[in-house]
């Protein structure tokens, strides 16, 4: 993405006051250096064919590919609302309401691991402004609660537990902040001026000589308002003291703050700081790397494109050129319809957020979704080329409810039974174009290349008649998203018969057959594509429910 101003980043030699993790000292020479193929400008002179060619030319960044492969990610909404019963807090809560009686983040991690989740995002700060680690920049934190005698740190415990169980760490830091609004920092009309981050506070343990940060600490100079600086300082603490972070999630809601109190967020500076301190982190939703799917039901569109038209907003924020919830975000028609409002076409893949319970925070009277409902959500998100972001809220003990834990385990088991061993793995593959065997080798980074746009047939011989009721297709998204229409056929005594069709494929497309079909030879025919299709996976499964 293009940032308005380049940050100044300095690593200042050996470290003394705070131990800085090695990943943070390896600062990139240029933030966002790999982002150039993920975004292309659009103008009124572009013909419909040029728009399609531009969309087909987009490539995801390395961090977007890594994010896409997470498939199942989790949210943990936890904070003062857990104890007040609210969904949106007020910002003037007594921090002492935060009293988990038996915080057990290892239990969160075990349940998520057993549910097949690969990354978890904690609400480090929701709209109420209460912070789950002892930030130096606000008193509205866990340190002001008598919980753990003010020495508790949920973020530390969460991050340690997740990593110990092989789960990546993500953070939700709400741009809206009721508490800072009440303290006159949020939307106070302050000027956007060049600020030095970190801002050292009285008695700061990060201070070196002469009022400067200690040698070895990264120092950034970025333009920001007072509140923008508060956010930068908080992001700095999170991204330098808690180990690698792989997703930073910025919500778009204003909470209960009156809408006329507008804080013009310093998105460009926040993004620059994240790129500098956590270059691997995907910036989601109000961010350039990952787009909100447009609903909170966990469902992607039947035909989901990761290449979509966007508007460039003040401060460097990316916004939808069409409405966020339009049923068609990326077809040829959509690209043309959006053109008058489009600044760029962008690789901006969809994330499907949904809660396992009706609320985002824990409410004792609510019940979790069943394993079957969760599996349907999996098919409607991961099965349509998106990533699932499932919220599982900890309760007032600081544990996941046993009913939710059971549902997560049963969900993972059900997905295993829906998609057990891939029957196509190392089948004899024939095809026009190049390297048909690479579509059945189990490697997402290798692919069959169809001979031409909207053409190509890939045939698998399984060696014996085999019953199939689930089909999984995947494009090699390192080469972009191309397939618009394809058909899967099976050979019977009377010849080749259509079994099912698909529209878009993208990173992953799961097709469910209403009943098993038995055949020895199966084939995929590309009917429409924006360039020669690159198929990384043509998988065949027989569910064992």
Q: Which residues bind ligand FUL (CB under 6 A)?
A: 87, 251, 253, 353, 360
CB of 251 to ligand FUL, least distance (A): 5
**Could you give the CA distance from residue 188 to residue 262 in angstroms, rounded to a whole number?**
9
Q: Which is nearer to ligand FUL, 124 or 499 (CB)?
A: 124
Closest to ligand FUL by CB, 124 or 169: 124
Max CA separation in the chain (angstroms) = 85
Contact 253, 127 (CB under 8 A): yes
DSSP assigned state of 95: G
Q: Give the tokens for residue 23.
A: 């990943």
Minimum distance of ligand FUL from residue 299's CB (angstroms): 15
In the bound state, the residue with its beta carbon closest to ligand FUL is 253
Considering the complex, what minimum distance in angstroms separates the CB of residue 297 from ligand FUL? Answer: 12
Question: In 3D, which of 115, 72, 101, 77 has the Cα closest to residue 393?
Answer: 77
From 232, 255, 229, select the one nearest 176 (Cα to Cα).
255
C-alpha to C-alpha distance for 387 and 70, rounded to whole angstroms: 7
Smaller CB separation from ligand FUL, 127 or 183: 127
CB of 121 to ligand FUL, least distance (A): 9
Nearer to ligand FUL, 300 or 429 (CB): 300
Q: Which is nearer to ligand FUL, 178 or 251 (CB)?
A: 251
Least distance between ligand FUL and beta carbon 406 (Å): 23
Q: How far is the CB of 176 from ligand FUL (least distance, A)?
A: 8
Nearest CA to 486 out of 441, 522, 444 is that of: 522
Q: In terms of C-beta density within 10 A (0-12 exposed, 13-18 middle, 19 or more buried), how is residue 459 classed?
A: buried
Our CB check for ligand FUL shows the closer of 187 and 440 to be: 187
Question: In the complex, what is the shortest distance from the CB of residue 459 to ligand FUL, in angstroms, rounded to a whole number?
Answer: 44
Which residue, 108 or 360, is less far from ligand FUL as judged by CB? 360
β-pairing verdict for 119-125 and 72-76: parallel
Question: DSSP letters along 467-485, please?
Answer: EEEEEEEEE-GGG---EEE
**Burial (CB count within 10 angstroms: exposed 0-12, middle 13-18, buried 19+), residue 196:** middle
Give the burial class of 193: count Cβ atoms within 10 A of its Cβ; 0-12 exposed, 13-18 middle, 19 or more buried.
Answer: exposed
């Amino acid at each position: 993405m293009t940032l308005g101003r380049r940050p100044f980043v300095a690593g200042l030699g050996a470290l003394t006051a705070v131990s800085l993790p090695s990943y943070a000292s390896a600062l990139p020479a240029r933030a966002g250096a790999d982002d150039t193929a993920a975004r292309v400008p659009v103008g009124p002179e572009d013909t419909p064919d040029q728009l399609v060619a531009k969309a087909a030319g987009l490539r995801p960044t390395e961090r977007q590919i890594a994010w896409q492969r997470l498939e199942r990610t989790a949210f943990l909404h936890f904070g003062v609302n857990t104890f007040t019963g609210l969904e949106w807090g007020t910002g003037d809560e007594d921090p002492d309401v935060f009293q988990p009686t038996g915080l057990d983040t290892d239990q969160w991690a075990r349940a998520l691991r057993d549910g097949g989740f690969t990354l978890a995002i904690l609400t480090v700060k929701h709209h109420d402004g209460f912070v789950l680690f002892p930030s130096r920049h606000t008193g509205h934190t866990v340190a002001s609660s008598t919980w753990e005698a003010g020495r508790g740190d949920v973020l530390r415990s969460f991050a340690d537990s997740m990593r110990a169980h092989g789960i990546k760490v993500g953070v939700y830091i709400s741009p809206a902040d009721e508490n800072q609004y009440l303290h006159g920092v949020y939307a106070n009309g302050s000027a956007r001026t060049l600020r030095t981050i970190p801002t050292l506070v009285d008695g700061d343990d990060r201070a070196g000589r002469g009022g400067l940060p200690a040698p070895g600490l990264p120092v950034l100079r970025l333009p920001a308002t007072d509140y923008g600086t508060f956010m930068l300082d908080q992001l700095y603490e999170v991204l330098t003291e808690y180990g690698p972070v792989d997703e930073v999630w910025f919500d778009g809601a204003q909470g209960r703050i009156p809408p006329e109190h507008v804080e013009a967020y310093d998105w460009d500076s926040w993004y620059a700081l994240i790129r500098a301190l956590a270059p691997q982190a995907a910036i989601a939703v109000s961010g350039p790397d990952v787009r909100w799917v447009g609903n909170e039901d966990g469902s992607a569109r039947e035909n989901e494109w990761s290449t979509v038209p966007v508007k460039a907003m003040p401060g460097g924020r990316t916004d939808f050129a069409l409405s966020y919830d339009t049923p068609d975000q990326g077809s040829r028609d959509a690209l043309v319809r959006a053109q008058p409002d489009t600044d760029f076409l962008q690789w901006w893949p969809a994330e499907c957020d949904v809660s396992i319970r009706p609320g985002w925070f824990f409410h004792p009277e609510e019940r979790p979704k069943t394993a079957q409902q969760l599996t349907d959500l999996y098919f409607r998100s991961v099965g349509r080329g998106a990533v699932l972001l499932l919220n599982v809220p900890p309760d007032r003990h600081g544990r996941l409810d046993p009913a939710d834990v059971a549902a997560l385990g049963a969900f993972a088991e059900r997905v295993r039974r829906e998609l057990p061993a891939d029957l196509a793995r190392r089948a004899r593959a024939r095809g026009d174009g190049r390297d048909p065997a690479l579509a059945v080798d189990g490697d997402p980074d290798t692919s069959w290349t169809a001979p031409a746009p909207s053409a190509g047939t890939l045939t698998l011989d399984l060696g014996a008649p085999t019953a199939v009721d689930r089909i999984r297709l995947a494009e090699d998204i390192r080469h972009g998203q191309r397939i618009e229409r394809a058909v899967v056929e099976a050979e019977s005594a009377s010849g080749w018969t259509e079994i099912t069709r698909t529209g878009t494929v993208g990173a992953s497309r799961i097709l469910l057959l209403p009943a098993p079909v038995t055949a020895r030879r199966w084939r995929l025919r590309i009917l429409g594509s924006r360039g020669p299709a690159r198929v990384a996976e043509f998988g065949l499964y027989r569910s064992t429910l």
